[in-house]
Amino acid sequence: MIKTLFLFVLTALAEIIGCYLPYLWLREGKSAWLLLPAAISLALFAWLLSLHPTAAGRVYAAYGGVYIGVAIVWLWLVEGVRPSGWDMLGTAVAMLGMAIIMFAPRPV
């Protein structure tokens, strides 16, 4: 369970970095050179998704919940915006959904 969650967090970080760097270029006038590590990060994101141990559709659905949680942490630590109580409640609901999807008992 911890390994799966860790892999989801790494996957989310790769996607967020891959999208945040072009955002910095487009919205904040940073160097276009940021697109190179962004592309590498997005390729890493796609590869990391392939490492998850279950059906792709289930992985994508559950990953969405973890992505929300990591994005809220990013908002706070990188962008310096403290999450609201509503942000935290939404994150908790998303993480609960992720846990139900990934860890529910299934017939073998």
Look at the pTM and tell me if it is higher than 0.85.
no
User: CA-to-CA distance for 106 and 108, rounded, in angstroms?
Assistant: 6
- The pLDDT, as a whole number, for residue 89 is 97
More confident call, 84 vs 103:
84
pLDDT tens-digit series, residues 1-50 = 788 888 889 999 999 999 999 999 999 999 999 999 999 999 999 999 88
Domain ranges of the chain: 2-103
User: CA-to-CA distance for 97 and 65, rounded, in angstroms?
Assistant: 7
Instruction: State yes or no: pLDDT of 84 exceeds 90.
Output: yes
Instruction: State yes or no: pLDDT of 62 exceeds 90.
Output: no
DSSP SS3 for 58: helix
User: CA-to-CA distance for 49 and 59, rounded, in angstroms?
Assistant: 8
More confident call, 108 vs 71:
71
